[in-house]
Amino acid sequence: MAYFGSACRSTHSFWEFPAPARRLIPIPQEEIIHEGDLCFDFPISQVSSRHVILTRTSLCYTAVSPTQSLSDLRLRRSTPIVFAHITPFHDPATGTGFRVQISSVRYIDLFAANWLEVETWLAALAQVACFTDLESDYKVGSHLGTGSSSRVYAGVELATGRRVAIKRMAKSGWQGMPERMVREVEILRKLKGEAGVVALQAVYEDYKDVCLVLSLEEGASLKRFLSKHHPLPEDQMRTILLNLLTILAAVHSQGIIHRDIKPDNIMVDSAADFTCCLLDFGLAIHQHDMNKGPICGTPGYIAPEILRGETGDERMDVYGLGMVGWTMVRGKNPFSAGDRRETLYRNREGMVQADWWDGTETPLKDFLEKMTSPDPISRPTASECLQHPWLSGKCTVPSCDEKLLSRLSSMNSDFSTAGEDRPPVVPNRD
């Protein structure tokens, strides 16, 4: 996507003067993503050279003349850069560098000595900004799946041959990225580096789509895995739930709630000791924003308090994972009904009727009942779930044997759990 206009030569139309106090405070080293020398004009010269620093929120420069010390990290000029658009260029006649565009009237071209320096800057900018030409960097391959507002494709990074997943979301007439897309990107950037969370590599935006370049996870979705291997031995269920609770505890520690825990959004790699990865943060939200927006989630996995119109917290994810546990045991979601309204009604009542368990008391049953308590106050957090004796294998009560698990398994297993993130309307019963 090419932007109109020529390079911005006046730094005052792009750079801002930071507050005097901010100009005198050195930039904390932990905020710095990358730094190096760039020029404001081409041909590059010492006169237009500045020491430019990229932080988690801003692009700034410190040296206003070549005679100043480049070790001086105090701000001289800066500009906010989160979700700015980056367009690289490489032409011997007009220069090598990249354009930073904040709006249709605020942009600047920054020039580097060679393309290698530009690539280094682009890798750093991927952590905070957007790019404009997906096809120049990635080859888009086969279709992997479809969500309510997105399509996911396999992809290959042209420069490295690395396999990725590309999530394409239509903007549908929005000016810039809709709020939900922005929130998903912000959350994935915040969680980058957390084990067991799909990693965001880069963001691209053109006039009609936003594309998220994500890590391509090994294994299969839990939904597909269960369709081939159900019923699972208890030790495999224990390993999967232990891995997922560890991931959830880490996500919750960052103040983030996933809000759509279900088998479709969980990857399991049986070849690597059932390593798990949590996918699709399209409905994720910060804890402090939980009172905003409509009810959302997948019928059968939504915490009852959310369907009752109450404000939830991180324990709504625990409930969803508990329902995943029941699904692994039973072969289908216990609330599942042929009619969506009936499924939502059972879900709102929230009590799993485990009469098919024949009254047998086992540590696994106790564990899942605690996770799916209809009362969020008595429901444990993910960190508290990790302390349950069933996960440690230190139970004095006998565990489930293979015959019991086979009997618990439904003869008509149903792993069709495709989610709907329109607000679930829960019917009343007379």
- Tens of pLDDT, residue by residue over 239-266, are 999 999 999 999 999 999 999 999 999 9
> Are 397 and 272 in the same domain?
yes
| Within a domain: 90 | yes
The pair of three-digit structure tokens given for residue 124, joined into one six-digit string: 């750093």
Distance CA 165, CA 61 (A): 35
> Are 273 and 395 in the same domain?
yes
> Are 207 and 263 in the same domain?
no
| Within a domain: 47 | yes
Which of 157-171, 280-294, 339-353 has the highest mean predicted lDDT (pLDDT)? 157-171
> Are 97 and 36 in the same domain?
yes
Give the active site residue among 109, 260, 280, 317: 260
Q: What is the mean pLDDT of residues 313-329?
A: 95
Whether 188 and 194 have beta carbons less than 8 Å apart is answered as no
> Are 202 and 278 in the same domain?
no
Q: Residue 101: beta bridge partners?
A: 85, 107
Number of Cβ within 10 Å of residue 17's Cβ equals: 12
* Mean per-residue pLDDT over the chain, rounded: 84
- Please give the tally of structural domains in the chain: 3
> Are 96 and 231 in the same domain?
no
Q: Judging by beta carbons within 10 Å of its beta carbon (0-12, 13-18, 19+), is residue 408 exposed, middle or buried? A: buried
Last residue of a domain, one of 215, 230, 246: 215
The pair phi, psi for residue 91, each rounded to 5°, is: -145, 120
Contacts of 224 (CB under 8 A, 6+ apart): 415
Whether 165 and 144 have beta carbons less than 8 Å apart is answered as yes
Banded model confidence at residue 193, pLDDT cuts 50, 70, 90 = confident
> Are 260 and 341 in the same domain?
yes
Please, what's the b/e burial string for 341-352 (b: 16 or more CB within 10 A of its CB; e: otherwise)? Answer: eebbbbbbebeb
CATH number of the domain that residue 161 is part of: 3.30.200.20
Q: Per-residue pLDDT tens for 325-352?
A: 999 988 889 888 878 888 999 899 887 7
| Within a domain: 419 | no
Find how far residue 219's CA is from the centre of its chain. 18
Indicate if 260 belongs to the active site: yes
CATH number of the domain that residue 101 is part of: 2.30.29.30
Last residue of a domain, one of 215, 241, 274: 215
> Are 140 and 102 in the same domain?
no
> Are 291 and 264 in the same domain?
yes
CB half-sphere exposure, 374, CA atoms < 13 A: 12
pLDDT score of 68 = 58
Percent of the chain with pLDDT over 90: 54
Last residue of a domain, one of 170, 196, 215: 215
| Within a domain: 330 | yes
> Are 252 and 381 in the same domain?
yes
- State the pTM of this model: 0.84
Q: Per-residue pLDDT tens for 20-65?
A: 887 778 888 888 999 999 999 999 888 888 899 999 999 998 865 5
Whether 280 and 147 have beta carbons less than 8 Å apart is answered as yes
Q: Which domain holds residue 198?
A: 134-215
